[in-house]
Copies of this chain bind each other. A is one copy, B any other.
Amino acid sequence: MKLSPLVQELIDSLKCLPGVGPKSAQRMAFHLLERNRIGGQKLATTLATAMEDVGYCKGCRTFTELDYCEICQSPKRQLKRMLCVVESPADILAIEQTGEFTGRYFVLMGHLSPIDGIGPDELGLDKLAVLLASDEFDEMILATNPTVEGEATAHFIADIAKKYNVSSTRIAHGVPVGGELEFVDGNTLSHAFSGRKSF
């Protein structure tokens, strides 16, 4: 039995969400139709507006419907002469939650991946170079993901920073807090040893 065309189309459209397969999509569609039409309508409106209006911050390339995001606009953040380079806007959220960093950000929206056609241009490194040349920053923290691609991207960007006499640092690798040493992989453990600190 086929569902009615519109219901089937709704289920198929919901599958564009990450982690949503046919079964979840069906559950979501029925849930909205049965119990939350108002929520569904609101989602439809917001989604349409967001897909249309949300662009990239002219300062840091994060998602925003404004010209400049809240962080780039903040005068306090301008005073701190630090720039943190991350791969995605979600990383900014994670770092902001720690309260550890109060400078500005630059979002690459990915990492270098020549095989997927993602080179320096796609990551906005020309824009980053302009920022570094502006003499607004003393230090650039490379907070790309601790993956092979993230490391490669960090190295590539560190080379650019050298040109502009901005010192670049990489976030520390080591054992995660609260974990058990037994289950930490060898690579991380060797990083933790080579990066040891005196008490």
Contact = CB atoms under 8 A, between A and B. Distances in A.
A41 B32 contact: no
B50 A6 contact: yes
Nearest to A109: B34
Contact of A70 (B2, B41, B51, B96): B2
Contacts of A7: 50, 54, 63-65
A184 interface: no
Interface residues of A, number: 57
**Chain A contact residues, majority secondary structure:** helix
19 contacts: A3-B89, A4-B70, A6-B49, A6-B50, A6-B53, A6-B54, A7-B54, A9-B46, A10-B47, A10-B54, A13-B43, A13-B46, A18-B27, A30-B63, A32-B47, A32-B50, A33-B50, A33-B51, A44-B47
Interface of A: 1-7, 9-10, 13-14, 16-19, 24, 26-34, 36-37, 39-54, 63-66, 69-71, 88-90, 92-93, 96, 109
